[in-house]
């Protein structure tokens, strides 16, 4: 399963699991599972960030702005989770 998550994302999600906001953690996990289980649907709900390194999708964590899940659709794979405008 860890190949579906970058080391950065695993660390960030683990920190959320240990944090005080269980609702935020649950919402992040739900968004991650959506991206992994149904990439076409998640992609339709995502914005796209294009950089020299490639394309990354940014999916909002509903009910918890400004948190976003950053993911790539090729595998799919969760790359990072953090507050982002």
- Does the domain at 2-83 match CATH 3.30.2310? Answer given as yes
Segment-wise mean pLDDT, segments of 10 residues, the chain, 85 residues: 87 98 98 97 97 93 97 94 94
How far apart are the C-alpha atoms of 51 and 39, rounded to whole Å?
A: 21
In the chain, where the domains are located:
2-83
Could you read off the pLDDT of 21-44 as tens digits, one per residue? 999 999 999 999 999 999 999 999
Q: Count the alpha carbons within 13 Å of 79 in the hemisphere toward its beta carbon.
A: 16
Whether 27 and 45 have beta carbons less than 8 Å apart is answered as: no
């Amino acid at each position: 399963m860890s190949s579906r998550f970058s080391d950065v994302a695993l660390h960030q999600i683990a920190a959320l699991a240990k944090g005080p906001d269980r609702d935020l953690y649950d919402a992040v996990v739900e968004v991650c599972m959506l991206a992994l289980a149904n990439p076409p649907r998640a992609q339709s709900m995502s914005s796209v960030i294009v950089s020299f390194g490639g394309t990354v999708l940014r999916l909002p964590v509903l009910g918890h702005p400004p948190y976003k899940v950053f993911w790539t659709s090729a595998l799919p794979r969760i790359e990072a989770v953090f507050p982002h405008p």
